Structure 1
Amino acid sequence: MYSVLFGFQIFITILIAIVIVFQKSSSDGIVSSNIGNQLPSNSQTSFISKFTIFLVFVFMANSLILAKDCISRYQREKSIINALENEPAPLENDVSDQNVPKME
């Protein structure tokens, strides 16, 4: 699932870049339309601007899903390592004084 989400993230990133390039320079895109903390009205916003905003929301949602997946993977791996650390060592190859040469 991680590779599918990551591939989708790359696709969305490329699509956002293409959509931003094709926006009209007279509309000034998303940045200038939100100056003064005012959202643009429906008549001021073109379809391509709305589509860009939609893609940004999809990008952010996918980023959060990827982050949650990475965190859960890390916790699973960490718990496996902790379980192995707490496991007692095997006694088959026990080192004793008899089989260790002394340095003189």
Structure 2
Amino acid sequence: MVQMTSVVAVLLMASQLSIANSQMDITPCGRLKGCLFAPPGCNPSADCGIQFSYQVNEAFLNMELAGTPPSQIGYIAVGFSQDDKMVDVFFFHSSKYERMNEVE
């Protein structure tokens, strides 16, 4: 599995927007792709509110972000930083505005 040195991934939850419930295939986790789950200690196949996977494919980073915020108004996001202070964070979020899902 590819080491992600000097990159910190953070899973965030906030109460701003709404997102649909979804699940990702966790079978390849640890073998073909790296996976992170939240909250800490959750069971990935049962009760994780957020699921994030990553896979390096030559020059590309493939990511999946799935989950359900704890309220109807919320979003999920993943951020990348070169330090543990999360300065100059580059992040992706998945949110829902009315009836249109958006990934940035």
Q: Pick the TM interval, shorter chain.
A: under 0.3
Per the normalisation by structure 1, the TM-score is 0.21
Identify the structure with the greater strand proportion. 2
- The TM-score, its normalising length taken from structure 2, stands at 0.21
